[in-house]
Every structure is written in C-alpha cells, then in structure tokens.
Amino acid sequence: MGNAQPGGYYYAPPSHWPIVGSTALLIMASGGVMLMNSIDGGGPVFGVGVAILVFMLFGWFGTVIRESQGGLFNKQVDLSFRWSMSWFIFSEVMFFAAFFGALFYARVYSLPWLGDADNKLLWPEFRAQWPSAGPYLPPQFSPMHAWGIPALNTFLLLSSGVTVTYAHWALKMGNRKGLILGLLATVALGFTFLGFQIYEYVHAYHELNLKLTTGVFGSTFFMLTGFHGFHVTLGAVMLTVILLRSIKGHFTADHHFAFEAVAWYWHFVDVVWLLLFVFVYWV
C-alpha cells in the first residue's frame, strides 16, 4: 500500500556532488586506460581522479549525514533507504555470481572438455584435474589449503558478525559503551582478516607459485578472493565511519539506519566469504 506523506518526505535540493563524481570517474577511467597501456602520465591522471572521487564521497556523505542529523528524514525516507540498500546488496550478489559462474563453468565444463579425447592429440601430457592452470602453462603450483589461514579467517569473519550484532543490540538498548566496544571489535576483526589475506597473497606468490597469471585456477582464485577482499575493505572503512559517528553520538535506539545498512553489508561480505571458503579453498 502506498503511504506517501508529501510535505514530510525529504526531496534533496539541487546538488553539485553528482557532477563532481562524474568528472572524477571520467578522469579515473582516462588515467586507468593510460596506465594499462603504458602511456606516460597515467598514474597522476588516475590519482587526480581518485582524489576528486574521495572529495566527492566526503562531501556527498557529509551532506547526507547533516540532513539526517537535521531531522529531515522521516519514517518513509527511512523505508526508502531500506529498500535501496537491499537492492544494492542484491546487485552485489549478482556481481559475485558472475565470478562464481566463471569458476563453476571452468571446473564443470572447460576443464573436462580440455581433457577429452580430441584434446589428447594436442596435449597428450595434460591431466584435466582441478586445481589446474590449463594445458599450456606448466602446472607447477600448489593451491591454498583451506584449513590454515582461510579457516582462521572464516572464524574471524563469523566472529565479527557476532560482534556487530552485539553492537546493534547494545545500540537498541541504549548502551553506548557496548555499541562502541562491539563496533571496535568488529573493525579490528575486519582489519585482522585483511592482514591475513595480504599475508596469504604474499605466501601464494612467493612460496606456492600461485599467481594471478597461474591459468584459470589463479584467475578465479585471485579475482574472487580479491574482489571479496576489496569489499571487506570497503565494509571495514564504512564500519570505521559508523564507529566514529557512534562516538559522536549520532545514533539513537530507534533512528540508526546507517548503522544497519553497514551491518547488512558486513553480513553480505561474510556470506560471500563462506561460499569462497567452500568452493575456492575447500572442495
């Protein structure tokens, strides 16, 4: 049922932030193209784009926070935020689905086909068995074992899901100390996870000879874990912002959607990790 309350719903006034963001992306894209094609000056151009984007993010989110603190967002605006965050997370699910699709396709179809009778004529030595770097590239690499750091990271992320839920519970109880401690623990667990991921990458490159260029195994491994790591980084930065806002006292027991949005996002990266743990590291 429609429950519009015009006069109460906050419609943003004209703003220059979007066009600043578009300028940033155009510059970043140009710089990126230059970098990838070894054209001089790519780095600085890309850097300028990133700087403008960061400036825009601070300006835009700052504006939204001021609007929220100014009491401009009623229940209906809050519901808009809830719908939009849900659909945004759905779009992220589909983004990861593309890479999981690539992983499953490579394992279930591409690789067995490369090992079939026809291809035996081309590559008699090749054994089509996962993990594989394909018939042409020498397969002298080791995959990452699931029950070392990855298992520990699973534990860290699952724990961070608990701590962020504790923080939410404390927020709803009006327990600020619990809120801040819960968030601090979540942020700490998030960054620890990232630290371990970086260590794992270094280990992969130096000791396992497992690289982004290591055939389809390396491609799917690093793209999936890499994009996940990028999302954890984003989530951890957002949690940090929420932590700072909590310390400033921005959230009340019944008005704190920013907190919940970030918590939803955090649970999303958590679930993606569980899938990664099972399908990339374990089976």
Partner 1 sequence: MSAAAPAHDHGHGHHDDHAHAHPTGLKRWLFTTNHKDIGTLYLWFSLAMFFMGGTMALLIRAELFKPGLQFLNPEFFNSLTTVHGLVMVFGAIMPAWVGFANWLIPMQIGAADMAFPRMNNWSFYLVVPAAILLVASFFVPGGAAASGWTLYPPLIIQQGIAVDMTILAVHILGASSIMGSINIITTILNLRAPGMTLMKMPLFVWTWLITAYLLIAVMPVLAGAVTMLLTDRHFGTSFFNAAGGGDPTMFMHIFWFFGHPEVYIMILPAFGVVSAIIPAFARKPLFGYASMVYATASIAILSFIVWGHHMFTVGMPAAGNLFFMYATMLIAVPTGVKIFNWIATMWKGSMTFETPMLFSIGFLCLFTIGGFSGLVLAITPVDITLHNTYYVVAHFHYVLVSGALFSIFAGVYFWLPKWTGNMYNEKLGKLHFWLSVIGFNLAFFPQHFLGLAGMPRRIPDYALQFAEWNMWSSIGAFIFGFSQLLFLYNVIECIRSNRKSEQMPWEGADSLEWTHLPTPAPYHTFETAPVIK
Residue 19 or 247: the one with the smaller Cβ distance to partner 1 is 19
The separation between CA 157 and the C-alpha centre of its own chain, rounded to angstroms, equals: 13
Decide if residue 249 touches partner 1 (CB under 8 A): no
Rule CB under 8 A: choose which of 52, 171, 216, 258 binds partner 1. Answer: 216
Q: In the beta sheet, which residues pair with residue 252?
A: 255
Q: Which of 45, 52, 106, 171 binds partner 1 (CB under 8 A)?
A: 106
- How many angstroms separate the CA atoms of 59 and 66, rounded? 10
**Residue 144, amino acid:** M
What does 139-177 look like in DSSP terms, one character per residue?
----PPPTTTHHHHHHHHHHHHHHHHHHHHHHHHHT-HH
Select the residue interacting with partner 1 from 65, 102, 151, 194 (CB under 8 A). 102
Please identify, using beta-carbon distances, which residue of 56 and 149 lies nearer to partner 1: 56
Q: Is the dihedral of CA 97, 103, 108, 112 positive or negative?
A: positive
Among 45, 46, 68, 99, binds partner 1 (CB under 8 A): 99
Amino acid at 208: L
Q: Which of 43, 44, 62, 101 binds partner 1 (CB under 8 A)?
A: 101
The DSSP call for residue 252 is: B
- Identify which of residues 69 and 158 has a Cβ nearer to partner 1 in the complex: 69
CB of 26 to partner 1, least distance (A): 4
Candidate list 48, 57, 65, 137; residue touching partner 1; CB under 8 A: 137
How far apart are CB 129 and partner 1 at their closest, in Å?
11
How many residues touch partner 1 under the rule CB under 8 A: the total is: 73
Under rule CB under 8 A, residue 32 binds partner 1: yes
Nearest approach, Cβ of 175 to partner 1 (angstroms)? 31
Which residues from 1-30 bind partner 1, rule CB under 8 A?
1-7, 9-19, 21-23, 25-26, 29-30
How many CB atoms lie under 10 A from the CB of residue 127? 9
Q: How many CA atoms lie within 13 A of 183 on its CB side?
A: 25
Peptide bond into 143 cis (omega under 30): no
Choosing from 150, 182, 190, 218, the residue that interacts with partner 1 (CB under 8 A) is 218
* DSSP character at residue 71: T
215 counts as binding partner 1 under rule CB under 8 A: yes
For residue 173, the minimal CB distance to partner 1 (Å) is 29
C-alpha to C-alpha distances, 247 to 12, 58, 171, 176, 215, nearest whole angstrom: 27, 18, 12, 8, 47
Q: What part of residues 79-98 is at the interface with partner 1 (CB under 8 A)?
A: 79-80, 83-84, 87-88, 90-92, 94-98
Match 């260590």 to its residue by tokens. 199
Contacts to partner 1 from residues 165-184, by CB under 8 A: none
Give the Cβ contact number of residue 42 at 10 Å: 17
